[in-house]
Structure 1
């Protein structure tokens, strides 16, 4: 394995889990690539680390549409990834309850693609540009060591593209399914001289299961790795997304779901609610190894433009402080990351050190317009907001892994983060004063973990750490009292996390992992009011997320495998508070009480995913079950989305051709045709919380992998 690959794969786990030297073992072990060490000496399997880590291999023979990341994440314990049947909004993603409150985008969870952040410095992230066709694997880190990634690290999700190798086949893939849903893509992967390449382009379109939910996405992901010299490599990364005019059907009330779950809210059609996104991003990673030392430098930059038409009626926009019903964002962002790693010994035992720093910056021009002109609605009208937002962070981190005995090892780390928000308001009138302002946040987040090697196959571990989460710019945007200016009184949420776990990895490929966890948070951020199409936030005090995760994988003979992932999660308010949620507008004084012990919204208490697959020769069969219990949809816990159990089936057949395998596949989702709520809009101001999931649907497709003539 080249030095480039070793450090490139390692770098994404932030020195987190700095895969260090592995102690001698009597048996050979298959190491998970996620933990390949930066230095060239040895590597450490994830079973040796005091953290819950799941690696999902994105098989080129995947039987789904191959377009949306949620297709491959069902079997990850502690993670909730739900498609909203609404591509104007991103996948609903949370890890151990962190990020569940987000009604748009992803927050509370750090996202990365090939080591490049997909989460902005304020903690707001996007999944829409994650290209599944070029992916090799997805890694999900949960628990205390997530804090090593900085602000808003309730968990970490990374997508890694494959590094092209000599002889890799190229491939074409196309699928078609219910509701005129189609996905077509091409991947070119291999090696030419010293360049390893992986280029994947995909087109996805759908008429939508719900009315007014048609969408189209074009995505491109490119990874080029160059072996510059012995011990030196350079990786060039580029991705782009074009998603124009994705229709937004909005949420439904409980009565509307019962009447017709496929309908769109009337105002969605009236105002033609929709969203357009265009993004381009580039990055580079330079790595140099020399003896026991490794240097790594990563830089990236990108541009993202968003235009969104909302269903806010003209009445609320009469307020001189209202920002209008059309959001127009033009964002430029980028950052640098530098780190040094050293591998040596302490008291005669293996020691790894990693020290580094990173800085990220986002410059955003935010404008708002009325969504009407005269009596015509759903079009861009007068300017109502014009401001420049700036947010940047400067972080430093260090960590050490030390195997202090043949059976014991320790992983210690700390990160110091400084985040600054600044706004310059250019839209000022006599009734709309200057909203300019700034706010700084800082935190030091230590983490520590111990691993005990009970037997050759079993590891026991314990870990603890601190974390923090600043408000995003969207949450700072409006004051809870209805006044002008940013909500600069919002504090960062602080958390303390603990985890106990065991990992058993058998010789036959069987594995069983169990984790018990708790996270206590102070100054949790929650909706204060949701009025007139805008949400304001406040700090509500203490919350707790605690539970158990189980991950079991069992080969059955040479051709079958069973997988089971289960989560029990109790996420509750520990201190009662007052909220405006549910109170008729206007509301600047909270009057509704949320009692201690109330469940946090958006978090199911139980989740279960089970999968059986059988591959006899050229055939492939699979069946999976995905279940979740009910969940709350507002802070008061007055309304709930019911739980559901879905059964899905897959079948595929492969044929050999002179130039490579040809494969046909089919997938039947929701075999029992169960009505269910696919996702929810937490604390929706109109009580339209529910986004129904689709009924029984089928997808068929074909894939051809061919070897190029030499």
Structure 2
């Protein structure tokens, strides 16, 4: 594996110290809002190492920062401060955000691929690697932890990066919060949240609770982009006795959204708000998802702990696409309407032991993770013929009917060894197994049986050495192997047009090496990492025409880059944050059928991504802040013939907080894209008709208000 030169690595690490994340599966973490350097992470091992002391790249975003003077609608509002993360708002609630970590997930044309997302321990990523962010309730988030680098592999298949969301744990005294936001393009969000607890959480019968619900509606920046979303999230903790606790989790989301689709370059330049295919085909999507979880934690002894997480959910989705009727006349075409029902469930059981091997302290966590998903997928024509003409946006004849089953069963182990006073070793191993089984129930004379099954498996080792140069400066070196399977959507169609799953599509494997350091600076934390990832059998688009997309393996790719993060507080009430990512992601073999793509940039990935903010933020009274975001150009296709230009936007926020009796009032106003930059906010990778461009809004405004009443 090619790596950076010793001089490059040494210079980068000595000049820029960095931050990291815990090695065990993240269960819960707490943050001190007034002191960034005291950010603590509670892992499944019940240890509490700080970001400074954990040997992997991590950023923890505090829930108060996520809500402070923000709409609370999209993750893209608050995760710009995370190095290595590229998160773009597509202005399309039918297709979710465009999210990638160190380039993993960039190929996704909808939803999230190649990353693992968890909410209170429940995966928002299915066993095949396809996930979504639409069910995350930002009003009740306690923290969001973003893990990059080799140790992501310990979360199994499709873990190019990990995003772990934790809901607020109720505490005394009880509070009720009412919040609202009104912004440009008819955007309106309002919500209600209640938190509280009985007792201090340490005695039998003590209860803590958080219940949150909200509704969002928008007309959308672009034509045919209106949406409505209802969201609810709840968490209930019950202390059973001195050594055990039970936590109940519930989440529900209901979305109805129009789909404006992408634009060609000429369409974008002439009228960026238009949606010609959206209007013509009445493209839209409805989603209903409900899930529940149960976590049991028990202290078996002074040195042993047990945790069991169980969950189940159902997701119903119907989507109308912009596919002409002519391709749908082919006997093997799946139609222009997707009707999908998914049921998913899983169990993650882990045991943690702390002890000594002679003079060497150590801890070990071992567990077994089982995830299962069954889906009933139907396809229909998206038209009716009236007087010889196609009327689109109507569900027509059945063209696809199949039941798919996906599951994984992964044993894993993670260890930490304190070899010397300043030197520690962390290592882990996971055996990832993923099975696919498809049963085709739509079989005709011209459409053969597409049933089939396959499975993938891989050992995923990781390791890291951490050295404490001083009490405030650590340096680490880590390496590991990752594994990404095709999703069921990517397996659905064969490249030769014949029925059946695309069994020629192989999983991709990656090897990553990373060197970093991290240091406290005043009340803040400065972090940096330099890394390189080489991937074999990268999964890319092969062809996309007539509403059908096929995939293939790209041979070798390389991602190498540098990440820098700063979270600093100074002069009491001044706060400054900075995130910079330089990422060089290229093909190392030819993936194009009609040209040589060796050395081309991988589409969907910006080479430079810079985000910075500065604000005056006292506990009460007037506050104000400004932020700037720069994103360099992004290639839209493998051939690198289409490119989205670079852009820079500036935002300003001002507000006032005051207390009256038991009530806290926070009113604010914000301006985004202050200088009215006309730009493309996201790109549809390898769109076959050249409609790559998803325009972002110009200057836009918003006002918000939250009122919190505390019972005492």
TM over 0.5: yes
Measured against aligned partners, the alpha-carbon deviations of 1:634-681 in whole angstroms (never above 9, x if no partner) come to 111110000100000001101222231111111100000001111110
Counterpart for residue 587 of structure 1: none
1:225 aligns with 2:237: yes
Kindly indicate whether the alpha-carbon contact (under 8 Å) linking 2:468 and 2:475 is maintained by their aligned counterparts in 1. yes
The 1:37/1:433 distance shift into structure 2, 3 A limit, reads: closer
Alignment of 1:20-99 (within 5 A): 31-36=38-43, 38-39=45-46, 42-59=47-64, 62-99=68-105
Counterpart for residue 511 of structure 1: 525
State the 1:576 CA deviation: 1.5
Counterpart for residue 563 of structure 1: 577
TM-score calculated relative to the size of structure 2: 0.93
Counterpart for residue 251 of structure 2: 239
The 1:14/1:370 distance shift into structure 2, 3 A limit, reads: farther
SS of the equivalent of 1:316 reads helix
SS of the equivalent of 1:489 reads coil
1:203 aligns with 2:210: no
Measured against aligned partners, the alpha-carbon deviations of 1:509-541 in whole angstroms (never above 9, x if no partner) come to 122111001110000000000010111000110
Distance, in Å, in 2 between the alignment partners of 1:243 and 1:599 is 35
SS of the equivalent of 2:678 reads coil
The 1:472/1:262 distance shift into structure 2, 3 A limit, reads: same
Counterpart for residue 275 of structure 1: 285
Distance, in Å, in 2 between the alignment partners of 1:327 and 1:390 is 17
Distance, in Å, in 1 between the alignment partners of 2:579 and 2:74 is 21
1:190 aligns with 2:196: yes
SS of the equivalent of 1:59 reads helix
The 1:647/1:396 distance shift into structure 2, 3 A limit, reads: same
1:299 aligns with 2:299: no
Q: Does 161-170 or 512-521 show the bigger shift?
A: 161-170
Kindly indicate whether the alpha-carbon contact (under 8 Å) linking 1:19 and 1:43 is maintained by their aligned counterparts in 2. no
SS of the equivalent of 1:315 reads helix
SS of the equivalent of 1:394 reads strand
1:482 aligns with 2:482: no
Counterpart for residue 378 of structure 1: 393
Distance, in Å, in 2 between the alignment partners of 1:412 and 1:13 is 12
Alignment of 1:82-161 (within 5 A): 82-161=88-167
Counterpart for residue 409 of structure 1: 424
State the 1:49 CA deviation: 1.6
Kindly indicate whether the alpha-carbon contact (under 8 Å) linking 1:51 and 1:142 is maintained by their aligned counterparts in 2. yes
Alignment of 1:166-181 (within 5 A): 166-181=172-187
SS of the equivalent of 2:278 reads helix
Supply the RMSD in Å over aligned alpha carbons: 1.6
State the 1:50 CA deviation: 1.5
Counterpart for residue 214 of structure 1: 226
State the 1:37 CA deviation: 6.0
Distance, in Å, in 2 between the alignment partners of 1:31 and 1:350 is 24
Q: Does 689-698 or 343-352 show the bigger shift?
A: 343-352
Gaps of 5+ in 2: 1-20, 30-34, 200-205
Q: Which of residues 339, 348, 354 is equivalent to 2:359?
A: 348
The 1:596/1:143 distance shift into structure 2, 3 A limit, reads: same
Counterpart for residue 403 of structure 2: 388
Counterpart for residue 654 of structure 1: 657
Distance, in Å, in 1 between the alignment partners of 2:36 and 2:599 is 45
Distance, in Å, in 2 between the alignment partners of 1:18 and 1:691 is 36
Distance, in Å, in 2 between the alignment partners of 1:29 and 1:432 is 60
Distance, in Å, in 1 between the alignment partners of 2:311 and 2:27 is 22
State the 1:301 CA deviation: 0.3
Counterpart for residue 617 of structure 2: 615
Distance, in Å, in 1 between the alignment partners of 2:585 and 2:207 is 48
Distance, in Å, in 2 between the alignment partners of 1:594 and 1:326 is 36
Measured against aligned partners, the alpha-carbon deviations of 1:683-709 in whole angstroms (never above 9, x if no partner) come to 11111000001110011011101012x
The 1:180/1:522 distance shift into structure 2, 3 A limit, reads: same
Counterpart for residue 202 of structure 2: none
